[in-house]
Amino acid sequence: MQRSTNVKPSTVERLALSGGTLRLITAGDGPALVYLHGTGDQGSLLPVFATLAEQYRIVRPDHPGFLQSDDFRPAITSIAEIAAVHEQLLDELGIDEFVLVGCSLGGWVAAELALRIPHRVRRLVLIDPVGLAGDGSAPNLFDLTSEQALVATVHDEGRRAAARSAAPDPQVAAGLARSRAAAQRLAGDPYMHDPSLAGRLGSLALPVELVWGDDDGIVPVSYARFWLDALPQAHLTVVPDAGHLPHVEQPQAVRDVLTREAPAWS
């Protein structure tokens, strides 16, 4: 089947909520797909989601205190509170049901959001998520140099070389620094997990997809088993030749996961 090329351009807007203003990117029409980003996200709509705008309404917010969203008042003190802000955002946008996708730290936020409003989440897709204690083999991101973080995140050496040679964008650099500081404050101790999360996930009865890059040096693929233990209904897809961001390095493989066996929407 030939895909339509009539994809609406993305729109960047700011939406005032109780406590502050969120920046968000939206694109497309149809059933909603909400993407929650990780710490290293540069604040743009990734190509995999731009193509999905052919069939979904893509909603990609910056977390409160990350990238170009406001620092909320009162101050956000936990990942669960980020999820509460995104619930408020969805209410404001009038989105009752949606596919929920989260990567890395955004995967943890997505899990917390699904726990808050499971009746509204049609499908939960977690891409190389943090949030569970795991086996202790993951490096502490906040202890890594920029070069070490690049090697741990990106599988392909060509992409690493391109990242090293790219001219720095001051706005992107400032957003990344903000995100890193916020993540360290909210998830630095205990490092990138909530000891209570695994036990709480058992209440989720909705469909869950786990997607993991086989060469993830930030959250090793061995961590997937802890998510499978907590979410026995989950289906795991390991993406070859991909690091911590398989939806960037192997977008078609992740697109296939996001579009297969999509639930019927009324």
What separation in angstroms does the CA of 61 have from each of 90, 154, 209, 236? 10, 23, 21, 26
Q: 7 pLDDT exceeds 90?
A: no
DSSP state of 169: P
- Architecture of domain 11-259 in CATH? 3-Layer(aba) Sandwich (3.40)
The distance from CA 207 to its chain's CA centroid, rounded to whole angstroms, is 17
Residue closest to 253 by CA, chosen among 223, 214, 227? 214
The closest of 123, 24, 21 to 72, measured between CA atoms, is 21
**DSSP states of 202-247 as a string?**
TT--S-EEEEEETT-SSS-GGGHHHHHHH-TT-EEEEETT--S-HH
Question: Is there a contact between 209 and 99 (Cβ–Cβ < 8 Å)?
Answer: no
For residues 107 and 114, the answer to whether their CB atoms sit within 8 Å is: no
pLDDT, tens digit (0-9, with 9 covering 90-100), for 188-203: 999 999 999 999 999 9
Nearest Cα neighbor of 244 from 106, 134, 110, 119 is 106
Confidence of residue 266 (pLDDT cuts 50, 70, 90): very low
Residue 9's DSSP bridge partners are none
In this predicted structure, which of 12-16, 153-157, 171-175, 238-242 has the lowest mean pLDDT?
171-175
Residues 6+ apart with CB under 8 A from 42: 172, 175, 176
Residue 240, number of CB atoms within 10 A of its CB: 12
Range in 6-15, 22-31, 81-90, 101-110 the model is least confident about: 6-15
Residue-range domain boundaries for the chain = 11-259
Q: What is the pTM of this model?
A: 0.94
pLDDT reading at 59 higher than 80: yes
Query: Residue 13 pLDDT > 70, yes or no?
Result: yes
Burial 172-186 (b: 16+ CB within 10 A, else e): eeebbebbbebbbeb
Average pLDDT, stretch 228-246?
98
Cis bond before residue 207 (omega within 30° of 0): no
Beta carbons of 129 and 227 less than 8 angstroms apart: yes
> What is the 8-class DSSP label of residue 108?
H
